[in-house]
């Protein structure tokens, strides 16, 4: 009886001379940058002053409380969460339209995707904010929502949407990010659906399944495993892109970091700290999505 071939051994990961050289180069660059800042620019570091804008000590209550940068971080998380939910819904719908048999839906979806993908994000946000949200939101009464005492005192509303007085700006930022990122999600969904062979479509239709049932029960479960990694990358990109909405006066992390850097004149400490905050958020979600991807791969096997 012939022996089954054994699985190839996984090569051990070892650091090479090139790796050590790169590490040494990075360390040298860091120390050189510190030298330039300290001795050439004559910069006085003061981390305590900047850290107090994350959490500050209140002498009246004798306890610590959140400050500007913490509020900005929470606003960024809220923006990313709601924009991701809305972008995923729009992206799934538009991505499906890109593959459907209806010519009108294909034209509309492709026009939307091509329009968004070929406009710089900054230009799109300005167009959306100044020419769309400034006209639509007042007509819908969002400018008066801060006068609703029920929402002002609602704890859940503040947790999920922040300060009610800034809700119209927050909603504009969510819609801007969602509409922009949905175009890229739609292309990911389209590619995932079209990656499934036509024979599976034909086999499912042959046993009497409708197109919707084929898509739900056969195509999307397989396509979902393929589109999870690029969707994870797009979600992390959305978190980083959320800093752009600071230009339309949405008080997220980048906007408030600019205020802190201007008021304290501690530019290096502020932006290093903010960069670390963005890194922690993005890296945390990267680890989470990596775990979900491994779970999906094991369940498929």
- Hey, which CATH number is domain 68-300, 1.10.3720.10, 3.40.50.150, 3.40.50.2000, 1.10.150.20? 1.10.3720.10
pLDDT value for 150 = 55
* DSSP-assigned states of every residue in 196-240: S-HHHHHHHHHTT--HHHHIIIIIHHHHHHHHHHHHHHHHHHHHH
Neighbours of 14 (CB within 10 A): 6
Q: pLDDT grade, residue 207 (50/70/90)?
A: confident
Which of 68-82, 86-100, 138-152 shows the lowest mean pLDDT across its residues? 138-152
- The model carries a pTM of 0.81
State the average pLDDT over residues 169-197.
90
Mean pLDDT confidence for 5-16: 60
226 band by pLDDT with thresholds 50, 70 and 90: confident
- Average pLDDT (82-97) is 93
Neighbour-count burial of 246, counting CB atoms closer than 10 A to its CB (0-12 exposed, 13-18 middle, 19+ buried): buried
For residue 121, give Cα distances in angstroms to 174, 212, 238, 250: 14, 34, 11, 16
Least confident stretch, 88-92, 137-141, 172-176, 196-200 = 137-141
Q: Rounded CA gap, 94 and 100, in Å?
A: 10
What proportion of the chain, given as a percentage, has pLDDT over 70?
89
pLDDT of amino acid 73 = 93
Whether 223 shows a pLDDT value over 80: the answer reads yes
Q: Which of 2-16, 17-31, 142-156, 264-278 has the lowest mean pLDDT?
A: 2-16
Comparing 2-16, 136-150, 183-197, which segment has the lowest mean pLDDT?
2-16
Q: What is the pLDDT of residue 149?
A: 54
- Residue 1: pLDDT over 50: no
> CA 86 to CA 181: how far, in whole Å?
10
pLDDT tens for each residue of 63-77: 888 889 999 999 999
The pLDDT value recorded for residue 260 is 92
Inter-residue contact 79 to 170 (CB < 8 Å): yes
Question: According to the model, what pLDDT value does residue 155 have?
Answer: 77
User: pLDDT for 97-136, tens place per residue?
Assistant: 998 888 999 999 999 999 999 998 888 888 888 877 777 7
Name the residue with higher pLDDT: 224 or 108: 108
CA distance 78 to 115: 27
Given a cut of 70, whether residue 242 has pLDDT beyond it is yes
Strand partners, 64: 57
């Amino acid at each position: 009886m012939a022996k089954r071939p054994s699985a190839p051994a996984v090569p051990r990961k070892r650091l090479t001379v090139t790796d050590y050289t790169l590490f040494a180069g990075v360390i040298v660059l860091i120390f050189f940058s510190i030298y330039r800042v300290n001795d050439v620019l004559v910069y006085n570091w003061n981390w305590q002053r900047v850290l107090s804008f994350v959490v500050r000590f209140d002498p009246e209550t004798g306890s610590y409380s959140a400050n500007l940068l913490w509020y900005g971080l929470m606003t960024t998380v809220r923006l990313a969460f709601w924009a991701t939910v809305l972008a995923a819904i729009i992206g799934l719908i538009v991505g499906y339209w890109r593959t459907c048999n209806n010519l009108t839906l294909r034209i509309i979806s492709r026009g939307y995707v091509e329009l968004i993908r070929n406009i710089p994000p900054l230009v799109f946000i300005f167009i959306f904010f100044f020419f769309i949200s400034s006209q639509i939101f007042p007509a819908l009464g969002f400018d008066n929502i801060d006068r609703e005492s029920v929402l002002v005192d609602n704890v859940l509303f503040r947790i999920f949407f922040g300060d009610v007085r800034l809700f119209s700006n927050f909603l504009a930022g969510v819609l801007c990010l969602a509409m922009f990122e949905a175009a890229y999600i739609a292309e990911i969904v389209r590619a995932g659906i079209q990656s499934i062979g036509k024979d599976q479509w034909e086999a499912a239709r042959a046993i009497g399944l409708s197109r919707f049932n084929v898509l739900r029960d056969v195509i999307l479960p397989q396509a979902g495993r393929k589109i999870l990694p690029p969707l994870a990358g797009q979600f992390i990109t959305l978190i980083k892109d959320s800093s752009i909405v600071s230009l339309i006066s949405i008080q997220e992390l980048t906007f408030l970091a600019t205020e802190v850097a201007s008021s304290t004149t501690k530019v290096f400490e502020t932006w290093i700290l903010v960069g670390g905050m963005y890194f922690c958020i993005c890296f945390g979600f990267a680890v989470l999505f990596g775990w979900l991807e491994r779970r999906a791969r094991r369940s498929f096997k």
